[in-house]
């Protein structure tokens, strides 16, 4: 499994090492100007084999993504990589919310999870993990997880309230809306056979709230928990998210957002996007646009944090003591919550994106090919070396 190791190295590469003047228990990290127009080539065929018989074939037809918050304005999957104890989660959508404007539209809760009582409460939330069939180039496929977060089950159950903290174990949150049949023209695109396929959490203007702790894992391991978002199609295809292959859309710019990526003491936020970048090396791409500021890692006491994608391309990650999980939230209450916490650094203004399709051949996607549209698995060691050096 390459994803946890690679993410640990990325965390180290972000410089989350020691306390800074712009560090806080609560606060916010802000990005502005998020969203651009571009295209990508979706997966057309998945071949689960061994050696050179394992590959993903990309379509020759390109698909657009565009608009405010693109590529994050589509359905997203929520990744929880231990050591994390998640006690609450919610997804909200708004018709038109602008950070700082109290006359904006309010927020409606579309999904909710609460495990602060003895019995978990779940609304429109599905817990999945890479616990299915194993592929040489794709890792394990998605399936329902058991209470331990790593055992395959037949139904939708959350991890145990007092989940044994196993470093590097990752599970995902999706909606409970089932995907249509695997097909390039269908809503969920092409995905692996046998996976439990559900839509992610949609909305161009959306908010995620989470209550969590990140207890210290004292064994000789990475101890680098992370809460992050990806396009919902990525985990349905591969477990090896950050391998530079056709099976992962990261290199084509489908995007990822590290809400809270941690080392032993601090957490940071970063956007992984091709917006405003040309000829970027793949190792630099996956480091992302690193937000200015650091949160203190909540090792013992639960905190409430999350992210807001507003209607004009502002994206803010935050930790706020007064955040609530009510079914409906007014624009004024959300703005009050944000204004009550300090900005931990300066806002990162993304460069404007290009309005034309990217070239078919990228410097950071220069793997060997067996035939047009097929890019073979590149050694994880090369990616790791690129991140480190």
Taking only the tens place, the pLDDT of each residue in 320-376 is: 999 999 999 999 999 999 999 999 999 999 998 765 544 442 222 222 222 223 333
Taking only the tens place, the pLDDT of each residue in 218-275 is: 665 578 899 999 999 999 999 999 888 899 999 888 999 999 999 989 999 999 999 9
Radius of gyration of the chain from its Cα atoms, rounded to whole angstroms:
19
pLDDT of residue 271: 95
Lowest-pLDDT choice from 80-84, 338-342, 378-382: 378-382
Which of 128, 35, 31 is closest to 78 using CA atoms? 128
Q: With bands split at pLDDT 50, 70 and 90, how would you rate the model's confidence at 23?
A: confident
User: What pTM was estimated for this model as a whole?
Assistant: 0.86
Based on the structure, what is the number of domains in the chain? 1
Per the CB < 8 A criterion, the answer to whether 5 and 222 are in contact is yes
Range of the domain at 128: 3-388
Taking only the tens place, the pLDDT of each residue in 156-193 is: 999 887 665 666 789 999 999 999 999 999 999 999 99
pLDDT of residue 180: 97
- Alpha helix positions (H), the chain: 3-13, 233-237, 282-287, 331-339, 380-388
Q: With bands split at pLDDT 50, 70 and 90, how would you rate the model's confidence at 48?
A: confident
Going by DSSP bridges, is the β-strand pair 27-32/348-349 parallel, antiparallel, or unpaired? Answer: parallel
Distance CA 8, CA 294 (A): 17
Token pair recorded at residue 187: 């809503």
Q: With bands split at pLDDT 50, 70 and 90, how would you rate the model's confidence at 311?
A: very high
- The CA–CA distances, whole Å, from 280 to 64, 253, 361, 365 equal 21, 11, 12, 10
pLDDT mean across residues, the chain? 84
């Amino acid at each position: 499994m390459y994803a946890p190791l690679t993410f640990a190295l990325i965390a180290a590469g972000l410089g989350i090492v020691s306390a800074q003047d712009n560090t806080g228990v609560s606060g916010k990290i802000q990005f502005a100007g998020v969203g651009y127009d571009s295209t990508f080539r979706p997966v057309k065929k998945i071949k689960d084999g061994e050696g050179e018989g394992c590959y993903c074939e990309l379509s020759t037809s390109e698909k657009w993504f565009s608009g405010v918050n693109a590529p994050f304005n589509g359905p997203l999957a929520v990744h929880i990589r231990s050591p994390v104890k998640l006690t609450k989660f919610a997804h909200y959508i708004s018709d038109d919310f602008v950070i700082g404007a109290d006359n904006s539209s309010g927020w409606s809760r579309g999904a909710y999870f609460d495990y602060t009582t003895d019995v978990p409460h779940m609304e429109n939330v599905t817990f999945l993990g890479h616990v299915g069939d194993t592929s040489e180039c794709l890792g394990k496929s998605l399936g329902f997880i058991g209470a331990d977060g790593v055992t395959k089950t037949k139904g939708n159950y959350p991890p145990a309230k007092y989940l044994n903290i196993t470093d590097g174990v990752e599970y995902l949150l999706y909606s409970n809306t089932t995907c249509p049949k695997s097909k390039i023209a269908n809503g969920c695109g092409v995905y692996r056979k046998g996976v439990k396929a559900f839509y992610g959490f949609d909305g161009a203007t959306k908010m995620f709230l989470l209550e969590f702790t990140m207890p210290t894992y004292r064994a000789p391991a990475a101890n680098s928990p992370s809460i992050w978002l990806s396009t919902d199609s990525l985990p349905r295809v591969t477990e090896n998210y950050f391998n530079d292959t056709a099976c992962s859309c990261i290199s084509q710019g489908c995007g990822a957002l590290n809400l809270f990526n941690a080392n032993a003491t601090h957490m940071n936020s970063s956007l992984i996007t091709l917006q405003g970048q040309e000829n970027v090396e793949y190792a630099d791409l996956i480091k992302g646009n690193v937000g200015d500021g650091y949160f203190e890692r909540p090792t013992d006491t639960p905190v409430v944090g999350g992210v807001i994608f507003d209607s004009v391309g502002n994206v803010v990650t935050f930790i706020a003591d007064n955040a609530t999980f009510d079914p409906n939230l007014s624009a004024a209450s959300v703005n009050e919550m944000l204004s009550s916490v300090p900005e931990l650094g300066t806002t990162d203004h993304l460069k404007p994106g290009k309005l034309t399709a990217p070239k078919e051949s990228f410097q950071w996607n220069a793997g060997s090919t067996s035939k047009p549209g097929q890019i073979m698995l590149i050694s994880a060691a090369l990616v790791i070396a690129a991140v480190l050096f």
